[in-house]
Homo-oligomer: A and B are copies of this chain.
Amino acid sequence: MPISNLQIRMLRKLLQSGTEEKIAHAIEKIHPSDISLLFSELSPGELQRLINSLCLIAKAGATLRELPEFLLPDILEQIEDKKMAGILSRLDPSEALFFFEHLPEARSRHLLDFLPEWQKEKLIKLLLYPKNSAGSMMTSNYLIVRAEMTVEEALASLRSQPEVKGVFYIYVVDEAKQLNGVLSLRNLVLAAPHTKIREIMDPEVQAVLAVDDQEKAAQMVAQYNLLAVPVVNESHELLGAITVDDVIDIVKEEATEDIYNLAGLSEADRAATPIGVKVKKRLPWMVLNLFTAAMAASVVGFFQHSIEKFVALAVFMPIVAGMGGNGGTQSLTVITRAIALGELNFVKAYKAVLKEAANGLILGATCGVLIGLVGFLWKGNYILGAVLFLAMMLNLLMGGLVGALVPLSFRALKLDPAIGTSVLVTMCTDIFGFLSFLGLATLLLEYLV
């Protein structure tokens, strides 16, 4: 059962004063993911007691693994080396890798020496894969059999293999550890005892390379409804498997990345990130925006004379520019999401652009009538109304066009359509908004004043 708020409060009290044995007993039956909720805002003493209790019931690794990544560095720092090594040595190397990715390099090197030789060796190999590669995400949660085994022999062999957390598939390998096929435990259980594995396995097993991006593995699992995808090296040797539970994390991560990129945020910038880091990460984006805003403002500079003569222009110009930005952002969002979800495999890109443009034109005409009426009623000048109508319509058309074209061009140039496109789109709508509104107004200035 999921943990209740009352339970959390009681456990927090126990952490303040209880013995480690008592705490261990209290949390023994709770899922690591729920225990992890206790980790926020602990005093150093409470943290030590909690870690020690978790070690008593051999749940420290699994629980720390459930913490949000931004909390890890701080917490790991407070666990002394010997204890940390004890926790790591109980983990599968692929799980241990996760912690090494959140430790300072010097400490990582130091901790490696505490580990058993076989684990150290495997970990060093895993550490060589680039971050976010399939190799860095793979686990040992799979079972292997040989093609020439009978079903009976395979079942016996499985019983002798080390306990793995979940059995997703059974992979068939040859003497060279090359991946030859796949079968499910159900295939095995339902087959007659003397059937050869070769007869019941699926030889067309899809795999990813260890150096491939983790996203490729995630896409494969999601698209073909798999529970795991095997990871191989160039000579098709089985190295590990990426399992569906990790794929869910990857999908969430990619979604956060897309949302973040549209706002110019970097992935590591979370609610709890220290202010100094936030400032450093966001400053380039803000300066870039300042620069594009200044460029748009310089357009206004060209029309100072018109504004001086008819100051109502200054009141209306941010409305025209801002509305174009809103429309452009909507089109940008629809198209970047369509790219991310593969929808453009089913729709021709030029049709999508035309739809966004037409939508912009229609919305622009509608909003143009509204704002034009406001302008007319306020100043009693129908030319002002007409200028507002035209500029609004044109700028929302522009928003639809660039909102669709910019991400599609980025994709064509093999750039991420979510990175930097929002600032480009708003720059276009700002500049064009000021230009169309103030330009039209200047042309018709004699009728306005």
Q: Decide: A260 and B308 in contact? CB cutoff 8 A.
A: no
CA distance A225 to B228 in the complex (A): 13
Asked if A149 is at the interface of the complex by the 8 Å CB criterion, the answer is no
Contact of A282 among B159, B204, B264, B363 (CB under 8 A): B363
CA distance A70 to B352 in the complex (A): 13
Give, as a whole number of angstroms, the nearest-CB distance from A213 to chain B.
15
A residues contacting B by CB (< 8 A) are 1-2, 31, 33, 37, 39-41, 67-68, 70-71, 155, 158-159, 166-167, 184-186, 188-190, 204, 206, 220-227, 244-245, 247-249, 251-252, 255-256, 258-260, 262-265, 269-275, 278-279, 282-283, 285-287, 289-290, 293-294, 296-298, 300-301, 304, 307-308, 311-319, 321-323, 326-327, 329-330, 332-335, 337-338, 341-348, 351-352, 355-356, 358-359, 362-363, 366-367, 370-371, 374, 396, 426, 430, 434
Q: Decide: B185 and A189 in contact? CB cutoff 8 A.
A: yes
Q: Decide: A283 and B366 in contact? CB cutoff 8 A.
A: yes
Contact of A343 among B223, B245, B272, B374 (CB under 8 A): B272
CA distance A2 to B274 in the complex (A): 44
CA distance A296 to B319 in the complex (A): 8
Contact of A185 among B167, B269, B272, B334 (CB under 8 A): B167
Q: Decide: A259 and B260 in contact? CB cutoff 8 A.
A: no
Q: Decide: B225 and A245 in contact? CB cutoff 8 A.
A: yes
Contact of A166 among B184, B333, B341 (CB under 8 A): B184
Residues of chain B within 8 A of A337, CB atoms compared: 256, 259-260, 270
